[in-house]
Chains A and B, each alone.
Chain A
Amino acid sequence: MSNETIPGVLKKNLWTDNPIFVQILGICSTLAVTNNLTNTLIMTAAVVFVTGLSNITVSVIKGLIPRKVRMIVQTLIIAFYVIIVDIILRAYVPEISRALGPYVGLIITNCIIMGRAEAFAQSNPPMIALWDGITSGVGYMAVLVLIAFIRELLGAGSLMGYPIFGDGFTAWTIMVMPPSAFFLLGGIIWAAKTIMIKKEAA
């Protein structure tokens, strides 16, 4: 019933169908949480967790979900995992929960998760759906971490809070503001597309 293969899904989600630079999904969080590498890593790890588990859950119960209410059930499942992540962060890593503030709750609205549940998990068996969710999350993570790396390095002169450039460095204020993520994202899309087109031509 499914012709999706493990390496095929991996390649699609990381490169040829990457949620960020090909599907242009999840852009709001790409702009909002990428000015600090630590927060970006934790936030995207939470997204990997939620996409993977919501995908496998949707896939397992897909035979039972009535068509009329399937979107609302998917949203419920996604919200469930996000709240679980929020509770775990609040109880066991309160500093990070404080730093991320409202962004954890906003994972629910990340279009990548809903997109994978609807486009993939609804029509594929559980294990490959789990794999699809995880790799989609990783494809998202890779791009965000790259943007956060550049933004924190230039915007604060540090990486994960550790100063890199020392005191003489003048921080680029633009880098901690949302517009810089727009420019960087545009640059990444441009670079990725150029490489893809060259590969196709070759």
Chain B
Amino acid sequence: MNRESFLYVVVFTFLVAFVFVFVIALADGATAERVARNRELVTAQAFLNAVGRPEDDGATALQTFERLFGAVEGDSVIRARVDDQDVLVKQFRGDGLWGTITGVLAVDSGVTRIVGLDIISHSETPGLGGRIEEDWFKDQFRNERISAEGITVRKGEGTTDDDPDNGTVDGVTGASLTSAAMQVIINHEIDGLRKEAGQ
């Protein structure tokens, strides 16, 4: 058969595309459950990190998550009691520099202090904006006072902001836009949580 004929080209291209896409669909289907479980686990661990109860072990993390927060529906605000403290926890999503940043924010019941913050996913520049997922950045939020304007992410000086009472954290050096985006996202969530808390 003539390899350059119109019919051959169409049939060949169709068959090749069909076979390869079929194998991909099989592989995707076979791993779908695992991928969903991984995503659930990452979310559960983010909730636990945000309220300061980190669990490394997957099974224990899911159990503790269930016990503390029950069934979590999307982005709704969850009221939970952790270590004798009432907290409001919310999964958030917002625009970073390159893509969506998702994470979990926990505040006390009066929305006066942040309990903690964790990042679930982002697509910021690795090594620059991507450093928002590093512990030194997230730890600055722990127990930070929320001022009237919310939280300020200031231009950092290469160190971290250790003062929990000034409502300010240091941004990431070399990633001003990601730092500014974090400020907008967190303050937006704080506004929402204040409404929820009835203030």
Q: Which residues of A contact B (CB under 8 A)?
A: 32-33, 35-36, 39, 61, 64-69, 72-73, 76-77, 80, 83-84, 87-88, 90-92, 94, 98-99, 101-102, 155, 173, 176-177
* Bound-state Cα–Cα, A176 to B131, Å: 11
Partner of B23, one of A64, A80, A102: A80
- Which of B17, B38, B128, B173 has the most A CB atoms < 10 Å from its CB? B38
Q: A residues within 8 A CB of B17?
A: 76
- Asked whether A90 and B38 contact (CB < 8 A) given A35-B127, A36-B127, A65-B12, the answer is yes
Asked if residues B9 and A68 are in contact (CB atoms below 8 Å), the reply is yes
Asked if residues B34 and A92 are in contact (CB atoms below 8 Å), the reply is yes
Q: B residues within 8 A CB of A99?
A: 126
Interface size on B, residues (CB 8 A): 26
- Asked whether A84 and B24 contact (CB < 8 A) given A72-B13, A90-B38, A102-B123, the answer is yes
Asked if residues B4 and A176 are in contact (CB atoms below 8 Å), the reply is no
- Which chain A residue lies CB-closest to B23? A80
* Bound-state Cα–Cα, A32 to B130, Å: 13
Q: A residues within 8 A CB of B9?
A: 66, 68-69
* Bound-state Cα–Cα, A125 to B163, Å: 66
Q: A residues within 8 A CB of B27?
A: 84, 87
* Bound-state Cα–Cα, A120 to B121, Å: 39
* Bound-state Cα–Cα, A171 to B173, Å: 11
Asked if residues B126 and A76 are in contact (CB atoms below 8 Å), the reply is no
Asked if residues A177 and B127 are in contact (CB atoms below 8 Å), the reply is yes
* Bound-state Cα–Cα, A67 to B3, Å: 8
**B85 close to chain A: CB less than 8 A:** no
- Which chain A residue lies CB-closest to B133? A98
Q: A residues within 8 A CB of B174?
A: 173, 176-177
Q: A residues within 8 A CB of B31?
A: 87-88, 90-91
